[in-house]
Chains A and B, each alone.
Chain A
Amino acid sequence: MQSIDNKFTKSLFVFHAACSPCNNCDIEILDCIAPKYDIERLGMQLVGSPRHADVLLVTGAVNKKVVHRIKMIYEQTAKPCVVVAVGSCACSEIIFRESYNTCGPLDKIIPVDIYIPGCPPRPEAIIAGLAKYIKSRKNAG
């Protein structure tokens, strides 16, 4: 039987969850759908509910108040779901590592498939990250 992962090689529906970011990563994600980069022409679309999402773009150093909410969002997504840690905050927490209110990088909380470091990563980097993922799926399938 073909793996369901192969289905991820075409149009990806993306849900964007901001977990205590500084907003920049989020703006760059929105920039991806703005005219200059326009990922919608590649079939990727931002959706309003995690239940419709194939991909979860998570930004920010998760703090104590959002930690169980991001777990909840992850549970609500249809599996398999690709989790992308966008930005250095989500990947490693950078300077907020020492904070009393953050709960560790994202991969301690939910399983992460792709890391896109950068503070903030450029829209090209975000697109390249997703494109690489699609490519690896294609090769695997």
Chain B
Amino acid sequence: MTDKNKNFIPIGPYHPLQEEPEYFRLHVEGEIVKSVDIELGYIHRGTEKISENKHFDQGVFLVERICGICSTSHPLAFVNAVENLARIEIPDRAKLIRCVVGEMERIHSHLLWLGLAGHFIGYNTVWMWSWKYREYILEVFEKVTGNRQHYAMMKIGGVRRDIANDDIPWIETNIDEIEKGLELFLKAITEDPVIHARTKGVGVLTKEDIKDYCAVGPVARASGIDMDVRKDTPYAAYGMVDWKVCTCDSGDIYGKAVVRILELFESLKIIRQCLGHMRNTGGPLDVNVKEIPEGEGIGRHEAPRGECFHYVRSDKTNRPVRHKIRAPSFVNVATNQKAVVGSHISDALLVLAAVDPCYCCTERVIVVNKKGKLMKGPDLIKLSQEKTDRIRKKGL
């Protein structure tokens, strides 16, 4: 660089601390980060395009392989979209099972993040402990779904497998075991001076930042915005159970960690209630789906990292004409540009990891600014209104 006072530090694409290949370029002045460039594309595999060549049932298999950590969120959002398109109502037991699997995934994902965050601040004990407790949930997964990851539970019109009522007591024991671990973590995080020193006041995002970047999920909730798809537009069995959305006002990494841990307690609550309901809810696991009609459908699911959105358009054949995916990290990763500015280099990696980025989910192709014109909010609203008018005129 020409300016002698400015230097940059490359992180990645293959960095020992990163699990996934991605490239960050930190522009620094002395110890302080001034800005960051994020370069992605190392994991782009063209999922949306492949999906157009797969029929709807294969699509579930495919979207599961978008991301390993949220490997129930994408299928759940996708089946929600297709069910929305075809106006399918699924049986109660299937709804409960979807909830149980979805929440178990949240537990495994948040524990994974907690461990990695501990690893980033050089606190490997946290890593080892949280991954130890994560194994309990993986055992449940293995028993219930047959696989430790990639559960393949979702299916258009219901779920693939049942959770046997005989297994429920055993699942509950495992969940109690995890709760013990969570109490330990909550205490460790709220009382440990080292963790406070490294996370409090670092990477702060205000409410306005969240709105500017449209961030979702725990990142938004840690800045005091109580958005949660499960509460706002309940799907599956989330309307049948009692739980609350956890928020925190600080907006820093500490807040994000606390929100995630509190959410885990809520997840345990949801799972317990769902398992309780399942004892009294029999019935089929799926409905028979004959054909997918023409039309559009959207499906949303509150993935561990925020709102996961799928859009499907069908022309009455057995495969989607268009399948659009927007994962939560897609918006959350952009907040890094704000959060990391002004922090020390040693904190930068932690700040970058605090949004729990998942680059496999994020890497979709988008065409921005195609004609050299930047679209702003009002322009988009105008486009949307025009489209609504067009559809009205067509009489759809």
Cα distance, A35 to B125, chains bound together (Å):
11
Q: Assess whether B132 is interfacial by the CB under 8 Å rule.
A: yes
Cα distance, A35 to B20, chains bound together (Å):
22
Stretch at the interface among B43-51, B331-339, B366-374: B43-51
Report if A98-B132 is in contact (Cβ < 8 Å); known contacts: A22-B66, A26-B19.
no
B65 in complex: contacting residue of A34, A35, A95, A98, CB < 8 Å:
A95
Stretch at the interface among B67-75, B173-181, B194-202, B313-321: B67-75
Q: Assess whether B121 is interfacial by the CB under 8 Å rule.
A: no
Are the CB atoms of A35 and B131 closer together than 8 Å? yes
Are the CB atoms of A95 and B360 closer together than 8 Å? no
What 1/0 mask marks residues of chain A from 17 to 30 whose CB sits below 8 Å from any chain B CB?
11111111111101
Are the CB atoms of A17 and B68 closer together than 8 Å? no
Q: Assess whether A96 is interfacial by the CB under 8 Å rule.
A: yes
Are the CB atoms of A18 and B46 closer together than 8 Å? no
Q: Assess whether B148 is interfacial by the CB under 8 Å rule.
A: yes
Are the CB atoms of A69 and B44 closer together than 8 Å? no
A98 in complex: contacting residue of B53, B66, B115, CB < 8 Å:
B53
Cα distance, A22 to B363, chains bound together (Å):
11
Cα distance, A64 to B106, chains bound together (Å):
32
Q: Assess whether A101 is interfacial by the CB under 8 Å rule.
A: yes
Residues 94-137 of B contacting A (Cβ, < 8 Å)? 112, 115, 127-128, 131-132, 134-135
Are the CB atoms of B45 and A69 closer together than 8 Å? no
Closest to B152 in A: A119
Instruction: Tell me the number of A-to-B contacts counted with CB atoms below 8 Å.
Output: 116
Report if A27-B68 is in contact (Cβ < 8 Å); known contacts: A22-B360, A35-B132, A120-B150.
yes
Cα distance, A94 to B150, chains bound together (Å):
14
Minimal beta-carbon separation of A80 from chain B (angstroms) = 21
Q: Assess whether A102 is interfacial by the CB under 8 Å rule.
A: yes
B14 in complex: contacting residue of A21, A35, A73, CB < 8 Å:
A73
Are the CB atoms of A99 and B20 closer together than 8 Å? no
Closest to A61 in B: B45
Are the CB atoms of B19 and A22 closer together than 8 Å? no
Are the CB atoms of B45 and A23 closer together than 8 Å? no
Q: Assess whether B274 is interfacial by the CB under 8 Å rule.
A: no
A18 in complex: contacting residue of B19, B50, B66, B67, CB < 8 Å:
B19
Q: Assess whether B11 is interfacial by the CB under 8 Å rule.
A: no
Are the CB atoms of A18 and B149 closer together than 8 Å? no
Q: Assess whether B352 is interfacial by the CB under 8 Å rule.
A: no
Cα distance, A18 to B68, chains bound together (Å):
13
Residues of B within 8 A of A98 (CB): 50, 53
Are the CB atoms of B149 and A34 closer together than 8 Å? no
Q: Assess whether B42 is interfacial by the CB under 8 Å rule.
A: yes
Closest to A25 in B: B68
Q: Assess whether B13 is interfacial by the CB under 8 Å rule.
A: yes
Cα distance, A49 to B62, chains bound together (Å):
33
Residues of B within 8 A of A66 (CB): 13, 21, 42
Are the CB atoms of A120 and B42 closer together than 8 Å? no
Residues 130-164 of B contacting A (Cβ, < 8 Å)? 131-132, 134-135, 148-150
Known: A47-B16, A48-B16, A96-B46. 10 other contacts (CB 8 A): A26-B19, A30-B131, A34-B115, A34-B134, A36-B131, A60-B43, A61-B45, A63-B44, A69-B21, A102-B46
16 residue pairs from A and B, CB less than 8 Å apart: A19-B21, A20-B21, A23-B20, A24-B68, A24-B149, A28-B149, A34-B115, A36-B131, A63-B42, A69-B14, A95-B50, A99-B46, A99-B47, A99-B50, A101-B45, A101-B46
What residues make up the interface of B, taking CB atoms closer than 8 Å to A? 13-14, 16, 19-21, 41-47, 49-50, 53-54, 58, 61-62, 65-69, 71, 112, 115, 127-128, 131-132, 134-135, 148-150, 358, 360
